[in-house]
Amino acid sequence: MEPELITLTDAASGTTATIFPERGFNCISFQVPQAGAPLEVLWTAKDFVSGQARPASSGIPILFPFPGRLRGSSFTFEGRTFELEGEDAFDNAIHGFVLKRPWPIIERSERHVIGQLTASKDMPEVLQHWPADFRITAAYEIRPSRLTLTIKVENVGDGPLPFGLGTHPYFRVPLGGRDPGVCRITIPVTDCWELQDMLPTGHMIPAADASLPPDGILFGKAKFDHVFSGIQSQQGRATATIADLGSGRTLRLTFDDKFHACVVYTPHHGEAFCIEPYTCVPDAYTLEAAGHDTGLRILAPGESFRAAMDIAVD
């Protein structure tokens, strides 16, 4: 049986998005019109829908209840230790539980779709590995040349819910042009966390010293797998850009100031660039215990949290 793909369409502009509920409610395609033909904005592996590619390798993976890595395969919260599965090369847990799960659809129309996961209902086994029950609701909506993702987190358990939320979009480069090397990338950050074995040490350096100056960098001039913070926002929103100087197209990723960090990653295939807003720094529990401000959030029973990001092409 073929997995269901949900296509959103803005009929007036020709903008479309394709959502794959079966693998993490991932948006695997976002196309905007360009000279009468669709321009694909996102990069997705050819074997992603078949289930062969890694869940975090394509489209827009949703990372929850922890984005990035947690040291080893366990963490401690309020005196209790929770065991997780080590999944990366260093046996660290990575990217949470929801990016590989089927998401039930609770609402859909021509231009929007909403998916929702409740731990106790849809994946009760994870309650052995996390301090509290949670519900996560994600909504995609398209407008002319624009895609919005809004995510709500609710504590539906009896105790405090610690969490981090992230998205991991793969933006295709070039953006309608022929040369990825003329794509200039700007990200509004000031600081970079030093990493050891892919985990933040707690020490930070200026972003410019990590090959990301304020005026941006051309694609291919540096390889990234970095964690940045010091996000500069205006009126509660921050904007990163990828400007294709060959096509004249500019992608703008705008996210609200509830996102505390931004991971920047260059996939090995060289066909995409990842700009990943996170509400907390990876390995937040270790860093919080050492006195660092990580952005880790804790919801009391009945409390909720909402964050949004917006992708526009002009």
- Report the alpha-carbon distance of residue 156 to residue 37 in Å, rounded: 45
List own/partner pairs for 53-59 with CB under 8 A and 24 or more apart: 55/23, 55/24, 55/26, 55/95, 55/99, 55/100, 56/94, 56/95, 56/99, 56/168, 57/170, 57/267, 58/26, 58/28, 58/170, 59/20, 59/26, 59/27, 59/28, 59/29, 59/169, 59/170
Question: How many Cα atoms are found within 13 Å in the side-chain-facing hemisphere of 151?
Answer: 30
pLDDT < 50 regions, the chain:
none
The residues spanned by each domain of the chain are 6-313
Q: Which DSSP state fits 2? A: P
The Cα–Cα gap between 258 and 297 comes to 10
Which DSSP string do the residues of 87-152 spell out, in sequence order? -STTS-EESBSGGGS---EEEE-SSEEEEEEEHHHH-GGGGGTSSS-EEEEEEEEEETTEEEEEEE
Structural class in CATH, domain 6-313: mainly beta
Instruction: Give the containing element (helix H, strand E) for 286.
Output: helix 284-289
The answer to whether the beta carbons of residues 186 and 253 sit under 8 Å apart is no
3-state secondary structure of 180: helix
Question: Is the Cα torsion angle 12, 15, 21, 26 positive or negative in sign?
Answer: negative
Contact indicator for 15, 110 with CB cutoff of 8 Å: no
Q: What is the pLDDT of residue 103?
A: 98
Return d(Cα 115, Cα 24) in angstroms, integer: 9
The residue type found at 129 is H
pLDDT in tens, 184-237: 999 999 999 999 999 999 999 999 999 999 999 999 999 999 999 999 999 999
Q: Is the pTM here over 0.75, yes or no?
A: yes
- Predicted local distance difference test score (pLDDT) of residue 88: 87
